[in-house]
Amino acid sequence: MVFNPQRVTRNPDHATRNPNQPEPMKRKTGKPNPWLDHYSRQAKKDRYPARSVYKLEEIQQKHRLINKGDKILDLGCAPGSWLLYAAKLTGDRGRVIGIDLKPVKIQAAPNIEIINADVFALDAGPLGNDFNVVMSDMAPATTGHKAVDAARSAGLCEAALAIAQSVMLPGGSFVCKIFQGPDFNQFVNSVRAGFDKQKIFKPRSSRKASKEIFIIGLGFKES
């Protein structure tokens, strides 16, 4: 790096100062944390690891995906908010299985099972084919390029749908998060083809700047 003395900006706080004088107080910016909103605070209060739980709550209130006694598969379940909420809904007679490569550090209820595995390398056979609900809140590691991120999101959704079709009971329900992009309509059509009803839902709890949207399939049609 070439040092150019003409480009040095003099800071008045760094001017000659009596060493016995205290350092000047730094002003607080007063800027709020953009990630700490109502839902984040509520999640902490309700003891959920993430605010995403309220997205599933809105979906449940609108479309009634989960019933007492249901067997549920949660793909990409970390950090565990959807697991905890689904476990409450399905109750003691139900079961929730979560799969993720990342460790899930929650106090799991007796009806929760967590499998540390790669969803893409998953052998769905041992899981069985008696799930009532398959849900995915998976999202790719974003690059900042909308087209790339949307394509990666669509890939995750296609994988989630393929797993759902292999493990779900007839009449089952499916929900999946996707980033809006060129492959959006194609994925919507794939869900529509496999279910009696297909819905598109944007929760109020999604951040305003987010491109995420949820695709819902109701009434799985066994092929």
Residues belonging to the active site: 177
CA 189 vs. chain centroid, Å, equals 22
- Cβ 86 vs Cβ 135: under 8 Å: yes
Bond preceding residue 22 cis, omega within 30 of 0: no
Beta strand 168-179 with 212-220: parallel, antiparallel or unpaired?
antiparallel
- Cβ 108 vs Cβ 79: under 8 Å: no
CA distances for 81 relative to 112, 153, 198, 221, angstroms: 12, 20, 24, 29
Of the candidates 50, 211, 55, the one whose C-alpha atom is nearest the C-alpha of residue 136 is 55
In the chain, alpha helices (H): 38-45, 53-63, 81-90, 146-167, 184-194
What value does the CA radius of gyration of the chain take, rounded to a whole number of Å? 23
